[in-house]
Amino acid sequence: MNRNLLGLSCLLISLAQNIYAQDVNSVVGSNPILEERLRNAQVKETKLSNGAVITEVRFAGSLKPNFDLGCISMGEVTSEFNPPALIYAAKKCIKEQEYSKAWALLTTGYGFAYYDLKRLADRSTQGARTVLSMNAFADLTNDERENSSKISKEIQKDPAQVQAYCDALKKIGPPTYEPQWAILHGIGAYQEPRSGHYLTNVNVKALWEEVLQNRCTPQKS
């Protein structure tokens, strides 16, 4: 099954296959967000050898990069690049054996994702970063994974490299895009208090400081 379904597959398969003999329209009708997502979704059915049918649903715009980036340096990163753009750029770096650049882009992408998801009121968006990573790196070879992991650990233990990265991240600042990549991954399972897609009880300044703290602290050897 396509990994874009993680966290939503059980619900959507139940709806699509009508397991409980319910009228699907009556189920989604009470959730206009889910109804809209399904209306614009790509749906594919796969029949298994045991006769079961798996229905794959991909929501339009979910986990989509807002820029098509190459293997860029931190000096080229801006606050307008969303996590999918940065993470797929990191993958390109891994493929080009530019592991230091990959680490910086991936660390930034994960930081931006954390900042985005902590602000969103839709609980069903919280697995978006995990699914994004699984999709992006699914076809890496074992050597690529091992080399990337090795270099990443070395960088994270080097105070000078961490500080240089931290200085660059502070210069970039918090994300300035609308996090549609994550919003469109959700099905409208909102929690309160909120205003539209965003929680109103989140201190965004403190949240960004948390992102910086987590990324500006070298790991102990």
Instruction: Identify any residues that bridge with 44 across adjacent strands, giving them in sequence order.
Output: 56
Interval 142-180: pLDDT, tens: 999 999 999 999 999 999 999 999 999 999 999 999 999
What per-residue confidence (pLDDT) applies to 8? 47
What per-residue confidence (pLDDT) applies to 38? 67
H/E segment holding residue 162: helix 159-172
User: Which residue bears the tokens 């209306």?
Assistant: 39
- Tens place of pLDDT for every residue, the chain, 221 residues? 444 444 444 444 334 333 333 344 444 556 777 777 667 666 777 788 888 877 666 676 689 999 999 999 999 999 999 999 999 999 999 999 999 999 999 999 999 999 999 999 999 999 999 999 999 999 999 999 999 999 999 999 999 999 999 999 999 999 999 999 999 998 889 999 999 999 999 999 999 999 999 999 999 87
Calpha distance 166→37 (Å, rounded): 38
What per-residue confidence (pLDDT) applies to 17? 36
Calpha distance 188→186 (Å, rounded): 6
What per-residue confidence (pLDDT) applies to 178? 97
What per-residue confidence (pLDDT) applies to 60? 60
Q: What angle do CA 62, 68, 72 make, to 5 degrees?
A: 125
What per-residue confidence (pLDDT) applies to 47? 80
What predicted TM-score, i.e. pTM, was given to this entire model? Answer: 0.80
What per-residue confidence (pLDDT) applies to 31? 74
Query: Could you tell me if residue 198 is left (phi over 0), alpha (psi between -120 and 50 degrees) or otherwise beta?
Result: beta
